[in-house]
Chains A and B, each alone.
Chain A
Amino acid sequence: MNGSPLDFDRVTIAEVSRHFGRRRALAKVSVTLEAGQITGLLGPNGAGKSTLLSILATLAMPSTGEVRYGTVTAREGGPAVRERLGVLAHELHLYPELTARENLLFFGRLYDLADVESRTGEALARAGLTERANDFVSGFSRGMRQRLALERALLHRPRLLLLDEPFTGLDDASARSLVERLAGLRGEGAIVLVTTHDLDLVDGLLDQAIILKDGRVADVQRPVHDLRDHYRRLVGRGGLA
C-alpha cells in the first residue's frame, strides 16, 4: 500500500445503526473488512444486508455510527473515496439501450480512466463478450449482463468491491469462473464484500463471514468453516434468541 491515505487497507464499520422512520434496519453493527480478504455478508431477507451495502457504497448515511475507509469517512473523502469503490448491485447498473462496449466506455470516462479503450477491450474479453461488444445490452441474457456488470464494477480497479448476489443468473461455469475471479482479486489485495444466499458456492472462498439477523450482527466467523451448518444453527429454525 502506498501514497494517499485513501489507498486504504481496511474498512471499519463502527457502531452503525440505520433507521427508516420507526423501522430499524441496522442496530450497532461493528465489523472490519481487511485488504486481501473476501468477506461474506450473510443473513435472511430483511436482515439489513442491502442497507449496509448502501451505506458502504456511500448511497446512504448511517443514522448513528460511522464507516471509515482507512482513516476517512465518505463525507470527508467525497469523490476520492468513491473512486476506490466498485459495486455490483442486484439491479445491474447497465443501460440496455447502449451496447456492451458503450456501457463500459461511458462508465470508464465517468471514472476518468486514461486508458479506457484498452481497459474496455480487456474487460469485454474477461466477460467473454468480445464478439457481442457492439450488441445492445437489452438483447443479453441475465448471465451475460451479470458478467458485463461485474466487469463494469471492476473497470477502475477498485480497492473495495461490494457484490450483491453476484451469482444470480450465472450458469455453473460462469459461477465457477466468478469464484476464481474473486480469489484472484483477493490475491491482488482488494477488499471484497459479497452477499449471497448460495452458501455452497462461497464455501471455501470466504475468509470471514458476517451473519446478520434483524439488523444485528449475529456472528462473525473467522476463519470460516462449516458455513452452511453454522448459518443454519444461527438463522434457521429460530436458532437465534
Chain B
Amino acid sequence: MSDSGSLGRFFHVAWLIMRKDVTVEMRSREILYTTAFFALSCVLVFAFSFVREGRAIEDAASGILWIAIAFSGTLALGRTFERERTNETLHALLMAPADRPAVYLGKLLGVVALMAVVEAVLVPLVGLLFQAPIGTHPMYLAMLLATGTIGFAAVGTLFAAMLIRARSRDVLLPVLLYPITIPVIIAGVRGTATLFSGGDATMARAWLGMLVFFDVVFITLALWTFEAVMTE
C-alpha cells in the first residue's frame, strides 16, 4: 500500500463506495427486487419438485438454498456493475486518489450487503417449505452463510469488474464464476446440510473453517490482482 493510502484511508474509501452503492440501491430497489424475486422463484420451483407429501428429499434444502444464493448473487453482480458501466462511473472510481483495491473492497461489501438482505428472506422460506431446522444452530448457519457469501462475492466482484467492457459479459460471468467458486458452494452446501440434518456442529465447524480459508485466499488474490486487471 502506498504512503498516501494508509489503512484507515483504504477502509474509508471502501466504506464510501459501499455506502454509495447501498444508497443508490435503496432508492431504485431495482437489483434487490429482481434478485429476491429470482431467488424466491427458484426455491418455490424446487419445492414443488422435491417436497412430496410434506416431506423434503434428504439434504435437498441446503442444495437448493445455495443454488438460489449462487444464481441470485450472479444476477446481483451483473446488475451492480452494469450500473457502474452505464455512465463509466467505475472509471471515475478507479481515477480517485486511493489504492485501487479499496474500490474492489467497497464494491465487494456492497454486493455482500445486497446478498445478505436477499438471504434474510430466502433462509426462512427454505426453512418453511423444506421443514429445514434453521433455528437449531442459528449462529453456525449465519456464519456459514456469511463466509460462503463473501467467498462467492469475492470472486464474482473481481470477474464482474474485469468483464465490464466485454460485450458478452452476461454470459461470461457465470461461465467464469461457477467453476472457480465450486469449492465455496460445496463447503456451503455440506456445512448447511450438516446443520439441517440435526447432526453435531463439529462437521459444520470444519466446513466453516474451509470457507474461511477460501475467503482469505480469494480476497487476497483479488486485492492483489485488481489494479492490474483493471488497467487496460
Contact = CB atoms under 8 A, between A and B. Distances in A.
A110 B87 contact: no
B87 A93 contact: yes
B92 A107 contact: yes
Contact of B89 (A95, A102, A109): A95
Interface in B1-16: 2, 4-5, 9, 13, 16
Contacts of B4: 78-80, 83
B197 interface: no
A54 B231 CA distance: 10
B4 to A, nearest CB: 5
A59 interface: yes
User: Contact residue range for chain A?
Assistant: 20 to 34
Contact of B95 (A59, A80, A91): A59
A97 B23 CA distance: 9
- Contact residues of A: prevailing secondary structure: loop
A79 B98 contact: yes
B95 A58 contact: yes
A96 B27 CA distance: 11
B91 A110 contact: no
Interface in B79-94: 86-89, 91-94
Interface in A53-88: 54, 57-61, 78-80, 82-83, 85, 87
User: Contact residue range for chain B?
Assistant: 20 to 34
Nearest to A58: B95
Interface in A102-120: 102, 106-107, 109-112
Contacts of B91: 57, 59, 87, 89, 93
Contact of B9 (A89, A106, A107, A112): A112
A72 B16 CA distance: 29
Given A59-B231, A61-B232, A98-B23, A110 B2 contact: no
A95 B20 contact: yes
Contacts of A80: 2, 4, 97
Given A60-B232, A79-B2, A94 B96 contact: no
A112 to B, nearest CB: 7
B24 interface: yes
Given A61-B231, A85-B95, A79 B5 contact: yes
Interface string B10-44: 00010011001001100110000000000000000
A234 interface: no
B215 interface: no
A112 B93 CA distance: 13
A97 B97 contact: no
A91 B99 CA distance: 23
Contacts of B95: 57-59, 82, 85, 87
Interface of A: 54, 57-61, 78-80, 82-83, 85, 87, 89, 91-98, 102, 106-107, 109-112
6 contacts: A79-B96, A87-B92, A93-B88, A98-B24, A110-B17, A111-B96
